[in-house]
Amino acid sequence: MNIHEFNFIVNEMEKYYCKKLEDEQSKIYFKQLSFLSVERFKQIVDEIYKNNKFMPKVADIIDIDKKLSKPEMTILKVDCKECNGSGIVMYSQKDEESDYMYEYGARCACRNNRNWSIEIPLISQVMPI
């Protein structure tokens, strides 16, 4: 981004945080951040408004740039005969009162179970082998 784009966004930030950067500070910010595209800088500043209570330092801005660059967490899926990769296995259990068989889901013993909340019991907890 160029100095005009930078100043435009920084002025807005200064107003929002009621804090004016000194000329020297502003120069350092620009020198350290000019490698960012203006779109990227806007995206980062949006995050800053949501997360920072105070005027960010260069290091805060760089941190957010790094955070935004991280790829989305990919959900690991392993082949598993028990759960067919879903991480959940069904089991039936008789309800003592009504005498009906009900189907329940439990987390499989394989790694696919990581995609599910630990509040769901593991199959080994409900169906001891």
Total residues at interface with Zn ion (CB under 5 A)? 6
Least distance (Å) from Zn ion to the CB of residue 93? 19
> Quick one: 61 or 110, whose CB is closer to Zn ion?
110
> Quick one: 21 or 109, whose CB is closer to Zn ion?
109
In this chain, which stretch among 27-35, 68-76, 110-118, 121-129 interacts with Zn ion, using CB under 5 A?
110-118
Which segments of the chain are extended strands (E)? 88-94, 101-107
- φ, ψ of residue 16 to 5 degrees: the values are -60, -45
110 is a contact residue toward Zn ion (CB under 5 A): yes
CA distances (Å), 114 to each of 15, 35, 78, 93, 107, in order?
Answer: 45, 39, 11, 24, 9
Least distance (Å) from Zn ion to the CB of residue 72? 23
> Quick one: 56 or 87, whose CB is closer to Zn ion?
87
Binding pattern for the stretch 61-100 against Zn ion, x by CB under 5 A and - elsewhere: -------------------x-xx-----------------
Q: What is the SS3 assignment for 54?
A: coil
Residues 1-5: contacts with CB within 8 Å, 24+ apart?
Answer: 1/33, 1/34, 1/36, 1/37, 1/38, 1/41, 2/34, 3/30, 3/34, 5/38, 5/41
> Quick one: 36 or 123, whose CB is closer to Zn ion?
123
Residue numbers of the site for Zn ion (CB under 5 A)? 80, 82-83, 108, 110, 112
